[in-house]
């Protein structure tokens, strides 16, 4: 294997054919944000567009941006973000795949597969094992799932989506912004809570001062990282889909939960709950919603996660529930991992920064 050459901000061409070219760079093409904002995610079920890429795309840990051009016009993008990925007994180099996007008028030509294959091959030719590639892919996203399976990825965990809702959330007197007062303590709480998990990635704990706690007498009883997210819902399936899309925005009560043109919620990760104080979780999440003046929080959680039992408690509220028929897979391609890493054995830690 040839010596590793770190990727630089200057683009390096990896593929050329006729007027098509594909390059890699540590710096993203400035036109990529517009491409991502026009990209619709999901092939079945809910289809949506994300926002906020102009901020998050510049806050990745160690990105490799793969750009696809047609006559110097950007038509495709894929990113592998390199970071240490922790497991109970060790840590390995991980490459998280995100931002796979192809311009709508050239989809169906195999360009997404070309981007993914080229990116994986590039790492394989330049990086020594052990390492792994991974991404979160919804089961109904058949196009992305097919591209991963073709590259010999496998599912090692299944993630459920839980929506926590409050019609009129209120802030508890014990609510604190821990990121502003004790950021190191917030990170330590999360590290200890998830020490026995796989795919540990705590790089975005305290992101935008977003770790919140409930405290009594200076002691932290519960905590969570919460990031506000805004999506545009393009398609909502089912008989109620048209009602939600076209009627709900004009009904004051429903608009709190459904506004397809600007679906607002907070995404959660790094949940900490002190032993014996599980009743505080809904109080904390309600306080977070009130802090952001929102009404919905989304938590992606491994079905093996012991914290999942807390979400079936009636105290979570009548509007809160797991999303029916929604399963997301942790798709992994591993290269030379040590035997101490048993993929799928332990619950997977899921970072909300990665899927938003």
**Distance between CA atoms of 31 and 24, rounded to whole angstroms?**
15
Q: Is the pLDDT of residue 118 over 90?
A: yes
Q: Return the pLDDT at 215.
A: 97
Higher pLDDT, 179 or 3: 179
What does the DSSP assignment read for 72-121? TEEEEEEEEEEEEEEETTEEEEEEEEEEEEE-GGGTTSSHHHHHHHHHHH
Q: What is the rounded average pLDDT of the residues 104-129? A: 96
Give which of 303, 49, 25, 284 is closest to 159, Cα–Cα.
Answer: 303
Return the minimum-mean-pLDDT range out of 197-201, 258-262, 306-310, 315-319: 258-262
Residue-range domains of the chain with CATH: 15-157 (3.40.630.30), 161-331 (3.40.630.30)
Could you tell me the pTM of the whole model? 0.92
Average pLDDT, the chain: 92
Give the pLDDT confidence of 22-44 residue by residue, as tens digits: 999 999 999 999 999 998 877 66
Q: Residue 251, SS3?
A: coil
Report for 45-54, 323-332, 341-350: range of highest mean pLDDT: 341-350
Q: Return the pLDDT at 7.
A: 75
Confidence of residue 355 (pLDDT cuts 50, 70, 90): confident
Higher pLDDT, 248 or 215: 215
Q: Return the pLDDT at 288.
A: 98
Confidence of residue 49 (pLDDT cuts 50, 70, 90): confident
What does the DSSP assignment read for 178-241? HHHH-HHHHHHHHHHHTTT-BSB--TTTTGGG-EEEEEETTEEEEEEEEEEEEEEEEE--STTH
Q: Residue 245, SS3?
A: helix
Treating both helix axes as pointing N-terminal to C-terminal, what angle do 111-126 and 142-150 enclose, rounded to 10 degrees? 40
**Distance between CA atoms of 266 and 289, rounded to whole angstroms?**
7
Q: What is the rounded average pLDDT of the residues 182-188? A: 97
Q: What is the rounded average pLDDT of the residues 95-105? A: 96
């Amino acid at each position: 294997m040839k010596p590793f050459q770190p990727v630089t901000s200057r683009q390096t061409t990896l593929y050329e054919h006729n007027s098509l070219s594909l390059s890699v760079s540590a710096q993203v093409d400035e036109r990529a944000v517009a491409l991502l904002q026009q990209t619709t995610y999901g092939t079945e079920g809910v289809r949506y567009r994300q926002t906020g890429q102009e901020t998050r795309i510049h806050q990745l840990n160690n990105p490799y941006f793969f750009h696809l051009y047609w006559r110097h016009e950007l038509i495709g993008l894929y990113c592998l973000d390199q970071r240490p990925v922790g497991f109970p007994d060790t840590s390995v180099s991980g490459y998280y795949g995100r931002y796979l996007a192809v311009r709508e008028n050239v989809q169906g030509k195999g360009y997404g597969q070309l981007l993914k294959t080229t990116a994986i091959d590039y790492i394989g030719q330049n990086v020594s094992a052990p390492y792994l590639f991974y991404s979160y892919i919804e089961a109904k996203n058949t196009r992305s799932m097919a591209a991963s399976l073709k590259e010999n990825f496998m599912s090692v965990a299944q993630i459920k989506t839980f929506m926590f809702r409050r019609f009129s959330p209120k802030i508890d007197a014990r609510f604190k912004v821990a990121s502003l007062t004790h950021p190191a303590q917030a990170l330590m709480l999360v590290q200890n809570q998830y020490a026995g998990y796989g795919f540990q990635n705590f790089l975005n704990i305290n992101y935008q001062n977003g770790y919140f706690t409930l405290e009594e007498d200076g002691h932290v009883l519960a905590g969570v990282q919460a990031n506000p997210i805004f999506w545009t819902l393009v398609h909502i399936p089912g008989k109620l889909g048209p009602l939600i899309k076209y009627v709900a925005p004009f009904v004051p009560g429903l608009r709190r939960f459904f506004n397809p043109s600007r679906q607002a919620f907070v995404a959660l990760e790094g949940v900490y709950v002190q032993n014996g104080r599980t009743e505080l979780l809904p109080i904390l999440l309600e306080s977070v919603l009130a802090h952001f003046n929102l009404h919905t929080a989304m938590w992606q959680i491994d079905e093996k996660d012991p914290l999942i039992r807390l979400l079936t408690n009636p105290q979570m509220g009548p509007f809160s529930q797991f999303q029916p028929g929604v399963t997301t897979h942790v798709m992994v391609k591993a290269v030379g991992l040590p035997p101490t890493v048993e993929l799928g054995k332990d619950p997977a830690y899921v970072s909300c920064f990665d899927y938003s």
